[in-house]
Homo-oligomer: A and B are copies of this chain.
């Protein structure tokens, strides 16, 4: 039997497959398609203190091998999450990662405190390109990234993952800043800022004008960043960006990820994360790899 377990900052996942925040809601719908206990972890929709409406629709556009979204963190707020969503997720034998997306440092600290030990890991989203306050502005300057990481870390009772933005000149600077400020793990990438214009109406397809690009189109950028970050920090990495197949998952792990998240693929097929897991097992078995963690960072770079 192949050993699929991996370790993220002391939390053992039974396998390296996670759902990417915002593409899986809080699991209710996707749980009608497979048993969530088959995943290593689930990462829920961004949580804010107050319920958040998000941006006006249309919020999605298809681009070549990718999608743009401008949801803007619509969610029911932390109270709703703790009362209705978390208990439902706890029924599954999988780890729960809470993605927090406060507009201010203080809001993120408060969110981390409120979550306490009720979740297994907290993912601090300093990379949402679709909101005016907070979001990506926290994630593009190493000093600000370090400060928010340090502050939120103090309020965290569980390991803290910092989710990085690809919209930066040098991802390694931000990664190192987060590491030095106390992050326990890093996840990357969030979406690249993009735009699509309807040439008939001359209007942006998204009512927010711009949106976040995800899906296979961004995979080469994501793999490159995972590799760069792997080389410059010692933190475990959750890799994501365009993972559609087991081989894609393997590619991220070979580049340096300890676990991977499946995002856009969930929008295409509800069983996507499970399919990726099964295909990854197939990939390992075919090659006689006994332990998935052998893949991590095993790239034979020139």
In the complex, the chain B residue whose C-beta lies closest to that of A213 is B220
A268 at the interface (CB under 8 A from B): no
Report Cα–Cα, A194/B68, bound state, in Å: 19
How many of chain A's residues have a CB under 8 angstroms from any CB in B?
A: 49
Report Cα–Cα, A167/B221, bound state, in Å: 10
Is the pair B255, A300 in contact by a Cβ cutoff of 8 Å?
no
Of B66, B68, B300, the residue contacting A202 (CB under 8 A) is B300
- Chain B residue numbers with a CB within 8 Å of A141 are 169
Of B66, B140, B193, B202, the residue contacting A224 (CB under 8 A) is B193
Is the pair B299, A197 in contact by a Cβ cutoff of 8 Å?
yes
Q: What sequence of 0s and 1s flags, for each residue 152-192 of chain A, a beta carbon within 8 Å of any chain B beta carbon?
A: 00000000000000011110000000000000000000001
| Chain A residues numbered 199-213 whose CB sits less than 8 Å from any CB in chain B | 199, 201-204, 207-210, 213
Q: List 21 A-B contacts (CB under 8 A).
A: A63-B219, A63-B220, A64-B216, A64-B217, A64-B219, A65-B65, A65-B66, A65-B216, A65-B217, A168-B169, A169-B169, A192-B221, A196-B223, A197-B223, A199-B283, A202-B254, A202-B298, A202-B299, A203-B302, A204-B302, A209-B227
> What 10 pairs between A and B have smallest CB-CB spacing?
A194-B220, A64-B216, A195-B224, A217-B217, A65-B65, A64-B65, A63-B220, A140-B169, A199-B250, A195-B223
